[in-house]
Amino acid sequence: MKNALVTGGTSGIGKATVAGLAAGDYQVVFQASDKEKADKVKREVILSTGNKNIDYILADFTSKREVRTCAETFKKNYPKLDILINNADVCLPERRITADGLEESFQINHLSHFILTNLLLDELKKSDDPRIINVSSAAHAAGRFDPDNLQGEKGYSPFRAYADTKLINIMFTLELAERLKDSGISVNALHPGVVSTNFAHEFGGVFKILYKLGKPFMITPEKGSVTSLYLASSDHVKYVSGKYFAKCKTVRLKNQYLTEENRKVLWQKSLELADMVS
């Protein structure tokens, strides 16, 4: 039985991805920050799929320490990792600084996944078909990369911060794929679609009205999880790496900031912010 780890598994696309993997007879572990929600999801997935090999690890992704504990907990309890789906993300109405002194959306959407992924590479190398899947967004096309403004230091906009982190997800994917090209580990990113979730539930005012008006035209979390599940399980992408997918097909990337130089700058900055510089 293959082992899968999904971040942000208690709602939206993450929850649907956990259920989809469970239905496919995976041993599924999901990261969660709320025990009550995690227990509920675990019960629901077991009941709906009949797969009892479902568990979770509690870890707050606004804490570098807890991300490290998450990785160590997985290593201690499971012999290998076949599928890592970096799914957790947020879009916040205002700039918030975590206890680690980092801007919250940057930390959750990128840095925590950067740390977790690097700490679990040895576990992935134990798999016969290891895959890393990073959930990005079509919003990356509007993203900008400014190494001196990674955390909105020069002025914060919710949608700018989100687009920038989604661009960073893809930069991370491309750079990691290059670094792992001889390891057997595939690394791909994806756009799940415009999904009806509680993703931006903290917003009010005009945005809340527009979001409600747009909801009937959004797809369900189940449909939003389709490309993640495809990348996790399909033999057609077994040897594909360093690509960006939407609707289970590769899509050409168009963003002027996706340069090799920028990717390497991001990697070094991430190492420093993650306290992973030797």
Residue in 251, 236, 232, 205 with CA at minimum distance from that of residue 84: 232
Under 8 Å between Cβ of 93 and 199: no
Tell me if 71 sits within 8 A of 120, measured CB to CB.
Answer: yes
**Alpha helices by DSSP H, the chain:** 12-23, 35-49, 64-77, 104-106, 112-119, 121-124, 158-179, 205-214, 221-224, 226-233, 260-273
Catalytic residue among 162, 230, 244, 257: 162
Place of tokens 């959306």: 105
Cα angle 210, 211, 215; round to 5? 120
The verdict on whether 257 is a catalytic residue reads no
Sign of the Cα torsion 9, 15, 17, 22 reads positive
Catalytic residues: 162
